[in-house]
C-alpha cells in the first residue's frame, strides 16, 4: 500500500466543512427561510426535476436543487411560482444559458489518420 493520507479527526473535518460553508453562504438570502421554501417546492414538485419532466421524451429525474425560473439577477422573486425543483445537470445547463453562454456539443477534432483526437 502507498502511504495513506493522514487520518483526519472528526472535529477537524467538521471545522473545515463549516468554514467552507460559511464562505459560500455569504448570500444572506439562503438561510432558514430558503430551506423552508426549498422543502415546500420539492414537495410540490414531487422531488422530480421539472425540466426533465417537461422534456420530450419525458424523463423522470430526482431533483437535487431548487431553481429560480426567472433568475434573481433578472428580477425573479423567491415566490413559489418562480421556483421549481431541478436536477443538477439541468440546473447547470440553465445557469450557463442564463449567463448567456451557448452550450453546444463541440465537433470532435479528427486527426489526419481519421481518428478522433482526445483532448
Output 52 or 66, the one with its CB closest to Zn ion.
52
> Cell numbers 421539472 correspond to what residue?
50
Q: CB of residue 34 vs Zn ion: minimum separation in angstroms?
A: 20
Instruction: Yes or no: say if 69 and 83 are a contact pair by the CB < 8 Å rule.
Output: yes
CA 10 to chain centre: 27
* Three cell numbers, residue 52: 426533465
CA 44 to chain centre: 19
Output 41 or 90, the one with its CB closest to Zn ion.
90
Size of the site for Zn ion (CB under 5 A): 6
Asked whether position 87 contacts Zn ion by CB under 5 A, the answer is: yes
Tell me the C-alpha to C-alpha distance, in Å, between residue 84 and each of 17, 60, 65, 70.
28, 15, 8, 10
Q: CB of residue 59 vs Zn ion: minimum separation in angstroms?
A: 7
Output 66 or 87, the one with its CB closest to Zn ion.
87
Q: CB of residue 90 vs Zn ion: minimum separation in angstroms?
A: 3
Instruction: Yes or no: say if 85 and 49 are a contact pair by the CB < 8 Å rule.
Output: yes
DSSP state of 35: H
Output 3 or 105, the one with its CB closest to Zn ion.
105
Interacting residues with Zn ion between 10 and 69 (CB under 5 A): 49, 51-52, 61
Q: In the complex, which residues of this chain contact Zn ion (CB under 5 A)?
A: 49, 51-52, 61, 87, 90
Amino acid at each position: 500500500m502507498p502511504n495513506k493520507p493522514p487520518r483526519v479527526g472528526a472535529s477537524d473535518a467538521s471545522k473545515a466543512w463549516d468554514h467552507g460553508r460559511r464562505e459560500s453562504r455569504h448570500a444572506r438570502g439562503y438561510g432558514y427561510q430558503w430551506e423552508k421554501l426549498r422543502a415546500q417546492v420539492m414537495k410540490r414538485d414531487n422531488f422530480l426535476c421539472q425540466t426533465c419532466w417537461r422534456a420530450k421524451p419525458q424523463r423522470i429525474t430526482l431533483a437535487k436543487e431548487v431553481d429560480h425560473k426567472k433568475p434573481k439577477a433578472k428580477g425573479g422573486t423567491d415566490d413559489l411560482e418562480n421556483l421549481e425543483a431541478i436536477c443538477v445537470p439541468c440546473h447547470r445547463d440553465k445557469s450557463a444559458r442564463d449567463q448567456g453562454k451557448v452550450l453546444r456539443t463541440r465537433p470532435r477534432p479528427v486527426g489526419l489518420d481519421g481518428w478522433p483526437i482526445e483532448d
